[in-house]
A and B are shown apart, each in its own frame.
Chain A
Amino acid sequence: MENNTFTIISRTIPYWLVSGAPFEDIVISSRLRYARNIAGYRFPNLASNEELGEIFEMARAALENTQIPLETEKIEFITVTEFTDLQGEFLLERHLISPDFLKKIKSREKDDKNKHLSTLGVFISNDETISIMVNEEDHLRFQVISAGLEFDKSFSKLNTLDDIFESTLRYAFSPQYGYLTACPTNVGTGFRVSIMAHLPGLVLTKEINQALNAIWQFNCLVRGLYGEGTETRGYFFQISNSITLGQTEQEIMQGIKNIITQLINHEKKARDFLLKTMKTELEDKVYRAYAILRSARLLNSDEALNLLATVRLGVATEILNEVSLTTLNKIMILLKPANLQIFYNQTLNPYERDEKRASLIRTILQESQN
């Protein structure tokens, strides 16, 4: 299946990036995840290949044996167990797997003596809103992603999914510590809420550090675009809860919601301030970025992402009306090196990538104007 699936996915925009979501001008996406382990099996870092294989088969059986609908529209799961490095990177760029999982994919290819055994895999719903990583840091990592600031629907999906697995599997659970995880930072609910926010206003007004200071005070973490250990780029910040034990899932969500709502207000004020005090400079910045994206012949991914982030600010503040947030979201995914190569279905060297990236962005922006 693999190659075809990757090609099909790469030509579409992930469902969660479509426009019309709450606070989409500031919040790109909301991700909820549960970490779960199966009782009686060592955690993935210590488990033997045989155990990992059993876990994988168990997870597959749990998913296949169930008829419980996730929602009214039918969701089909794609099972991916064979990855090339490029396909792994592609999935990371689309937030369907984590950087740690990609590391595992890469190291497995080099020294795996049991290739017949699927020890590592991910189940992805065909709309890309759900992914289930098997044998990442924990046996199971369920993730539901949605556009904008939206928790309720995703939370219900996440719980249904968890219940489906739990109805036929036995989870490692303790009445005192809750769901037991490989790292004590996830124990308890195993629940992590991550918001990807676009905060150019706060960055440009130099208020970002103060805002992040406030976030840290409220038991939240700030990370880069792909989670732990990654840099913040293009004014994108990932904010998530640091506490998973001692609070209910609802309390965790409410806590994050409160913080993000405040952050949104601060960002809006900062944007208003910029529009009032330095409108021309802001317009200049936005139109220059847009002009480069529309005419450049070579663009590396960092430059493209930064320009895109500036154009996004322009669209959100209504300086620029010629392009939609959905189009920008689509470009944001496709400009990444692995997505670009899988979109074109060919391996490209860095120079060729910069050329194709510039050309693809030009085409998409051209089409969006027509």
Chain B
Amino acid sequence: MKECNICHKPEVFIIVNTVDREGNVQELALCKDCAQKKGISEIKKIKLTPAEIIMKLQMTSDANDQKITCNFCNITWANFRTTGRLGCEHCYESFKNQLDSLIKEIHGATLHRGKTVTSGRKTTYDRFVIKKLTKQMRQAIQNEDYEKAAVIRDQITKIKKGIV
């Protein structure tokens, strides 16, 4: 049970965010009486929403982190800070250090529990990926990049045989 930060009564009526002169945000839990004394009569917002947590963390993000880039989709941590959206699944690996604390702040956990994917042949997916790779292979051949074309051809064979 939470208690009032001022009189320590085991009753919390409202939680407010206070900002000091340095700009540090602090959470303050108050009972009804102390809230009234502080002139807080109306509850506006008690807890940050996930979107607000992202914004808050984005503001306090380390400048050095900003240039970190995802190898797959090429977005930077700074890009993510602006949009609040990641570019692809690989971003979770590329920005792991930064994301771990953000995810912990939002969810209070960093480990998934719940439904998981099942393995097995993914027919529709394979069909589309083979089509995509075939197009890339043709492009490579056209560019006379036979090495790349061979790599793609091997990838296609693997998918067809169900190895991947």
Measured CB to CB, the nearest residue on chain B to A246 is B109
Please give me the residue from chain A that is nearest to B32 by CB atom.
Answer: A210
From B46, B83, B109, B120, contact of A216 by CB (8 A): B46
A344 within 8 A of B: no
Establish whether residues B114 and A189, one from each chain, have CB atoms under 8 Å apart when the complex forms: yes
Question: What CA separation (Å) do A178 and B46 show in the bound complex?
Answer: 29
Q: Please tell me if the beta carbons of B14 and A213 are within 8 angstroms of each other in the complex.
A: yes
Q: Does B106 contact A (CB under 8 A)?
A: yes
State in angstroms the CA–CA spacing of A184 and B102 once bound together. Answer: 8
B112/A178 in contact, CB under 8 A: yes
Q: Is the CB of A183 within 8 A of B86?
A: yes
For window 67-100 of B, CB contacts with A under 8 Å fall at 72-73, 75, 83-89, 92-93, 99
| Nearest CB in chain B: distance from A176 CB, A | 6
CB atoms of A246 and B112 under 8 A apart:
yes
For A45, give its contact among B14, B85, B117 (CB under 8 Å): B85
Chain B residues near A203 (CB-CB < 8 A): none
- A246 adjacent to B124 (CB under 8 Å): no
Distance (whole angstroms) from the CB of B147 to the closest CB of chain A: 22
Report A-chain residues with C-beta under 8 Å of the C-beta of B124.
58, 61-62, 65, 168-169
Please tell me if the beta carbons of B117 and A166 are within 8 angstroms of each other in the complex: yes
In the assembled complex, A290 has its CB within 8 A of some CB on chain B? no
B102–A188 touching, CB < 8 Å: no
B105 CB to closest chain A CB (Å) equals 10
Interface residue B64 (Cβ < 8 Å from any Cβ of A) = no
- The answer to whether B86 and A245 touch across the interface, beta carbons within 8 angstroms, is no
- A213-B43, A216-B47 known; A183 and B85 CB under 8 Å? yes
Measured CB to CB, the nearest residue on chain B to A66 is B124
Is residue A228 contacting chain B, with contact meaning CB distance below 8 A?
yes
CB of A8 within 8 Å of the partner chain: no
Contact of A184 among B42, B49, B103, B132 (CB under 8 A): B103
Interface string of B36-66 (1 = CB under 8 A from A): 0000001100110111001000000000000
Binds B, one of A35-43, A281-289, A362-370: A35-43
Q: CA of A171 to CA of B109 in the docked complex: distance in angstroms?
A: 22
Q: A-facing mask of B101-116, CB < 8 A → 1, else 0? A: 0110011111111111
Measured between C-beta atoms, what is the minimum distance from A230 to chain B in Å?
A: 13
Which residues of chain B in 1-34 are interfacial with respect to chain A, using CB atoms and an 8 Å cutoff? 13-14
Q: How far is the CA of A354 from the CA of B67 in the complex (A)?
A: 54
Q: Report Cα–Cα, A185/B53, bound state, in Å.
A: 9
- Chain A residues in 8 Å Cβ range of B115: 159, 162, 178-179, 189, 248-249
- Closest chain-B Cβ to A184's Cβ sits at a distance in Å of 5
The answer to whether A46 touches B107, judged by C-beta atoms less than 8 angstroms apart, is no
Q: B residues within 8 A CB of A174?
A: 89, 92-93, 112
- Expressed in whole angstroms, the minimum distance between the Cβ of B86 and any Cβ of chain A is 6
> Is B161 at the interface (CB under 8 A from chain A)?
no
Q: A168-B122, A209-B42 are in contact. Are A188 and B107 (CB under 8 A)?
A: yes
Q: Check B111 against A246 for contact (C-beta < 8 Å).
A: yes
In angstroms, Cα B112 to Cα A46, docked, is: 25
List B contacts of A177 (CB < 8 A): 92, 103, 110, 112
Chain B residue contacts of A40, Cβ below 8 A: 129
A142 and B32 CA atoms in complex are apart in Å by 42
Q: Taking beta carbons and an 8 Å cutoff, which residues of B are in contact with A?
A: 13-14, 42-43, 46-47, 49-51, 54, 72-73, 75, 83-89, 92-93, 99, 102-103, 106-118, 120, 122-125, 127-129, 132
Top 9 nearest A-B pairs by Cβ distance? A246-B109, A178-B112, A185-B50, A172-B89, A168-B124, A245-B107, A209-B43, A46-B87, A216-B47
